[in-house]
Structure 1
Amino acid sequence: MVESFVSESSNIIPFSSSQVIVEKAPKARIGDLDKKKYLVPSDLTVGQFYFLIRKRVQLRPEDALFFFVNNVIPPTSATMGSLYQEHHEEDFFLYIAYSDENVYGASQN
């Protein structure tokens, strides 16, 4: 029954959108987001999504913001759709951690 629900619910979301959950990294010293779930246009770039999240966290221009997907910093030129296709979980969400510093020691792709 759960499988049929997941199958049906995945048909509801248009292919032009990506379901994203954005959570603060464990050791981050940065503000919390007012919401964690986002339905993001697939053609939006990671850089554009950075801008949106920066506004929601209310960062100053000089403050750093890092995204991590599976402990790797995604390229800002990648689209959210391509990131979603490559890294979404079995629950059909893309999980992004954010931090004010490179807490995972990850390198950019």
Structure 2
Amino acid sequence: MSPPYKLEHSFEKRRVEGEKIRRKFPERIPVIIERANKSNIKELEKKKYLVPSELTVRQFSQIIRQRLDLHSDDKLYFFVNGVIPSSSGTMGSLYKEQHEEDSFLFITYSDSNESEKFNAKDLQSK
């Protein structure tokens, strides 16, 4: 498992990049999505996504499901700051409520709906 994005890239580097992305693409949401350590789902090849703000969380979930080659009966849960976001909400509204100071929205995915709060330790290798 690759190291968490926050450990690979300093806050300052993320902040500069996030602000640059938001200036260049104001209608897009910079997302970092990472697998939870306790998850049995494979790791995505790519962690960083730039998604339309009007895309719903459900639609983004479908994109990630395709990238992970999940079957319709396979479970996939998203967590933002330890909470499962509403699937009917837009990525733009989720970003407004939950983005970090570096201008990125961090999402953790798992095959379990455990309500524990995920943090950098949970993303580290077993």
TM-score, normalised on structure 2?
A: 0.74
Of 66, 69, 80, which aligns to 1:58? 69
Map 1:27-106 onto structure 2 (within 5 A): 27-105=38-116
Alpha-carbon RMSD: 2.1
Contact 2:22 2:28 in 1 (8 A): no
The corresponding residue for 2:120 is none
Shift in CA distance, 8/96, structure 1 to aligned 2, threshold 3 Å:
closer
- Identity of matched residues, %: 52
What code does the residue aligned with 1:15 have?
P
1:105 Cα deviation after fit: 4.8
How many residue pairs get aligned? The number is 103
Contact 1:28 1:103 in 2 (8 A): no
For structure 1, the residue ranges without an aligned partner over 5 or more in a row are none
The corresponding residue for 2:9 is none
For structure 2, the residue ranges without an aligned partner over 5 or more in a row are 1-11, 118-126
1:32 Cα deviation after fit: 1.0
TM-score, normalised on structure 1?
A: 0.85
Between structures 1 and 2, the one with greater helix share: 2
Contact 1:18 1:80 in 2 (8 A): yes
Deviation readout 1:35-63 (Å, 9 max, x if unpaired): 00000000000000010000001111111
Contact 1:25 1:99 in 2 (8 A): yes
